[in-house]
Amino acid sequence: MSYTFAAVKQIARRWGWLVVCPTVAVCASSNSSGPLVAGQPGAVSDLAAGTTTEVSVVLSFTQVDDGMGQPAHYDVRYSAGSMSWTSAASVTVGTCAAPVTGTGVAGTLSCTVLGLSPSTSYNFQVAAFRGNMTGNAVFGEVSNIAAASTLSIAPPAPVVTTVTVSPASVSIEVSGTSALQATVKDQNGNLMTGQPVTWSTNNAAAATVTSGVGS
């Protein structure tokens, strides 16, 4: 009898495991994680303007994620004068031309806006997004405004362009003298004072000249 009882006990234990194991498996599956829920793309808060030229501005900012843990894309916009995101134009020339592809979810990203006008004040903003700008883009909040002014174009150096002698003609008696004045102007018609003028004659036997300074 003791042998039969022991066998029954072992069978009961085996059946008990058969009952318990499916229960554990069901409980484990009920705790599995669900599908990833997409969030809003991050917001850039440190947009800054750096080096400027007559026609360009370098921008930089800390990269954010696209709301799904991936590097975001960016729409960079600008305006001459006051800034309104909805009416501002997206950058189309330079490495800031939209869309700008992020390289990570942290670290600094720099790009250049080209095609600007000299001696002009500009405002810039950027917004991160995921998807495609043609219709299904999901945007994050718009960044802070960064301001910068392009440089002025330096005027070309003045170059002597015209020399006018006054009077244009003169009659001089033998042993007589006459004073002539040379007026020097640059390529823009501006008077260039203090310019050295060299005087000469094509008939030294008839007349001699001395050098002076143009006015």
pLDDT digits (tens, 9 = 90+) for 190-211: 888 878 888 888 777 777 877 6
Residues 89 and 162 in one domain: no
The string of pLDDT tens digits covering residues 85-123 is: 999 999 999 999 999 999 999 999 999 999 999 999 999
**Per-residue confidence (pLDDT) for residue 36, from 0 to 100:** 60
Whether residue 206 lies inside any domain: the answer is yes
The string of pLDDT tens digits covering residues 131-145 is: 998 888 999 999 999
Residues 110 and 141 in one domain: yes
Residues 68 and 119 in one domain: yes
Whether residue 33 lies inside any domain: the answer is no
- Residue that terminates a domain, selected from 101, 120, 149: 149
Distance (Å, rounded) from C-alpha 76 to C-alpha 63? 13
- Residue that terminates a domain, selected from 149, 172, 188: 149
Residues 59 and 145 in one domain: yes
Distance (Å, rounded) from C-alpha 61 to C-alpha 48? 6
Domain that holds residue 132: 48-149
Rg (CA), the chain: 42
The string of pLDDT tens digits covering residues 20-38 is: 434 433 333 344 455 567 8
Residues 197 and 144 in one domain: no
pLDDT at 44 over 60: yes
**Per-residue confidence (pLDDT) for residue 120, from 0 to 100:** 98
Whether residue 6 lies inside any domain: the answer is no
**Per-residue confidence (pLDDT) for residue 35, from 0 to 100:** 59
Whether residue 59 lies inside any domain: the answer is yes
- Tell whether the torsion through CA atoms of 85, 89, 95 and 99 is positive or negative: positive
Average pLDDT value for the chain: 83
- Report the Cα–Cα distance between both ends of the chain, in Å, rounded: 139
Q: Is the pTM of this model over 0.95?
A: no
Whether residue 53 lies inside any domain: the answer is yes
pLDDT at 15 over 70: no
Domains: count for the chain:
2
Q: CATH no. for residue 53?
A: 2.60.40.10
Whether residue 119 lies inside any domain: the answer is yes
Whether residue 36 lies inside any domain: the answer is no
- Residue that terminates a domain, selected from 116, 131, 149: 149
